[in-house]
Chains A and B, each alone.
Chain A
Amino acid sequence: MNMPAKIMSLISLSAVIVPCLLYFASAIGLDAVKWAALAGTIGWFIATPIWMSRALPKDAAEVEI
């Protein structure tokens, strides 16, 4: 169950970053980047909670700036 979810998370994160690099290389337009990032964001928040359930840090109530 975890492995497909991890792969989906990886693909989702790539959908946020890779289109930006393609945009940097003038291969795609900004609108395509924005849509890909939104799709990646939705995918990330669906897939990642399935496998990323690591214990909270000891002092999660501490605040870092």
Chain B
Amino acid sequence: MNDDNSNSGGEFERERVPDSALLGSGKFWGMYAGEHAAGTEFMIGPLFLAAGASLQDLILGLLLGNFLAVLTWRFLVTPIAMAKRMTLYYQLERIAGGSLVKFYNLINGLLFCFLAGAMVTVSASAVGVPFNIAFDVPESMLGLSNPSFTALVSIVGVVIAVVAAGGYERVAQVANIAAPWMIAVFAACGIISLVQLNATSMAAITEGKFWTDAIEFVQEKNGPQTFGFWQIVVFAWLCNGAMHFGMADLSIFRFARSKASGWAPAIGMFLGHYMAWIAAALLLAALIKLTPSLALGTDGKVAANPGLLAFQALGWTGILCVVIAGWTTANPTIYRAGLAFQGVLPKSSRTAMTLVAGAVATIAGAFPNLSAQLLGFVGTYGTVLGPMGAVIFVDFYLMKKFGLRDEYATHSGIQVNVAVLIAWLLPVAIGLYLIFGQGLFAAYAVIPCWIACGVIYLVLSKFTQSSVSISQGNIR
């Protein structure tokens, strides 16, 4: 990729990617291989076990869900990315208007802060192991852990925020270098856990008693819970909903020379969201078998402490992996959130806004229940950001067919496309009500909100575009 071709400070951020800058499939496979082995995997894997998922459902459900995610990247994102060759933000700006994109970016930034907060908690859990600082998950959602752990979260959060304020490139380089090693450590943790669970033969693995014993222990301590096959499928499919249904990865695939590049997320899904999740879940099962008391929080319930889990399996290497995985995920996340905040307050400095984002993330990280709710958070993240992808889909495939103007904001000069604003916020508001008010599993809301957003955008455009074209007379 050639920086000299850029004319916008970034790389083709406000123009089509030229043919000379297109990339072969191999680059995408390499990138996705490292992208999805992150700190979140250490939290999400054990949460499946803690939620009561059966081993068979987990193995088959993740297989199907990840396959659907790959298909979505390949057939939904890649064709539009290759036809338009623009970033998500530039495409949205052309459709929705600059001010609305800033608002979308602000929401994105706030959600990033909570994701980074979970990673601060993950890193602190690992740093605390050698210092014997316990990781307690309080019963209340907004309850703090013990004072020592809260102090540790503050220190880790400040360090991560300060490093992020210095720029993300060095950390991104560390993340690149660490990715193959992290994948190896995840695999090693899974293999060691199988031995610790006495599951070293095919018969023992297929019988799955080691898993059902762990589930029984969790149910006894945490109360009965179920996390069924379709929940696993939908979660695996939509946990990256903002990236595929939400079209965030248009920014990546706009460089694709061939549509075959759209298959590249498969390596990230099946290494990070399959092998790594199952390996991380096995860590918790092994801890429950070997030292069940360590798996319990002060409230007597089973709590996944990523640092302790990895330490029990692989010693100091496990701790290093959790710290680096958490840090390399939290750092660019805070940086990205800082950029989003700076977009809203253009006169502020990026450093100051990154520190603000870091402070928000650190505060979020001090509430361990937020990271324990990562399964729900990731679904909510897709529900809030995913529907914007429907706007891009409808704009690309349907607007002209219905006699409407595509990229309406660019052609009309408006800063806020009301049709997009309503089409986005209305289904998302209903989705959030169902998630938080009615207890709907968050990932279930992603696709209905996506479809509703697309339909509402199309219908409202029929009215808003007509009225503006009549009043301005210069649209068509």
Q: Which residue of B lies closest to A23 (CB)?
A: B195
Among B33-41, B59-67, B126-134, B295-303, the stretch that binds chain A is: B33-41
Report yes or no: A41 in contact with B181, Cβ–Cβ below 8 A. yes
Are B188 and A16 interface neighbours, CB within 8 A? yes
B371 in the interface (beta carbon within 8 A): no
Q: Specify which of B35, B173, B188 is in contact with A64 (CB 8 Å cutoff).
A: B35
Can you offer 9 A-B residue contacts whose CB atoms are under 8 A? Answer: A13-B181, A20-B191, A35-B315, A37-B314, A40-B317, A56-B169, A59-B87, A61-B336, A65-B40
Report whether over half of chain A's contact residues are helix, strand or loop; otherwise say mixed.
Answer: helix
Nearest chain A CB to B414 CB, angstrom units:
27
Enumerate chain B residues within 8 angstroms of A57, measured Cβ to Cβ: 31, 252
The interface of chain B, by Cβ under 8 A from chain A, is: 1, 11, 30-31, 35-36, 38, 40, 87, 112, 115, 168-169, 172-173, 176-178, 180-181, 184-185, 187-188, 191-192, 194-195, 200, 239-240, 243, 248-249, 251-252, 255, 268, 314-317, 320, 329, 332-333, 335-336, 339, 378, 381
- Whether A16 touches B316, Cβ cut-off 8 Å, given contacts A24-B200, A37-B188, A64-B36, is no
Given contacts A13-B180, A16-B181, A16-B188, contact A62 B336 (CB under 8 A): yes
Question: Contact string, A24-41, partner B, CB cutoff 8 A, digits 1/0?
Answer: 101000100111011011
Q: Judge whether A49 is part of the interface by a CB distance below 8 angstroms.
A: yes
In the complex, A62 Cα to B329 Cα: how many Å? 11
Not counting A63-B329, A64-B268, A65-B240, a sample of 17 additional A-B residue pairs whose C-beta atoms are within 8 angstroms of each other reads A16-B184, A17-B184, A17-B188, A24-B200, A33-B314, A37-B185, A37-B314, A37-B315, A48-B181, A57-B31, A61-B168, A61-B332, A62-B248, A62-B249, A64-B35, A65-B38, A65-B115
Contact A54 B339, CB 8 Å, known A16-B317, A20-B191, A33-B192: no
Interface size on A, residues (CB 8 A): 34
Task: State A45–B321 Cα separation when bound (angstroms).
Answer: 12
> How far, in angstroms, from A23 to B339 measured CA to CA in the complex?
46
B335 & A61 in contact (Cβ 8 Å cutoff): yes
Which B residues are in CB contact (< 8 Å) with A56? 169, 172-173, 176
Interface of B is mostly: helix
Q: A34-B317, A65-B239 are in contact. Are A16 and B268 (CB under 8 A)?
A: no
A37 CA to B335 CA, complexed, in Å: 31
Q: Which of B195, B200, B240, B255 has the most CB of A within 10 A?
A: B195
The 5 closest A-B pairs by CB, nearest first: A34-B315, A37-B317, A20-B191, A64-B35, A20-B188
Complex CA–CA separation, A44 to B181 (angstroms): 7
Docked CA distance A40–B31 (Å): 23
CB-CB under 8 A from A49, the residues of chain B are 173, 177
A56 to B171, CA, bound (A): 11
Output the nearest chain A residue to B254 by Cβ-Cβ distance.
Answer: A58
Question: B199: nearest residue on chain A (CB-CB)?
Answer: A24
Whether A52 sits at the interface, judged by CB under 8 Å, is yes
* B residues near A16, Cβ cutoff 8 Å: 181, 184-185, 188, 317
With an 8 A cutoff between CB atoms, is A21 at the interface? yes
* List of A residues within 8 angstroms of B255 by Cβ: 58
Let me know if B333 and A24 touch, CB within 8 A.
no
Chain B residues whose CB sits within 8 angstroms of the CB of A26 once the complex forms: 200
Bound CA–CA A38/B176 (angstroms):
19
Please name all residues of chain B whose beta carbon is closer than 8 Å to the beta carbon of A20 when the two chains form the complex.
187-188, 191-192
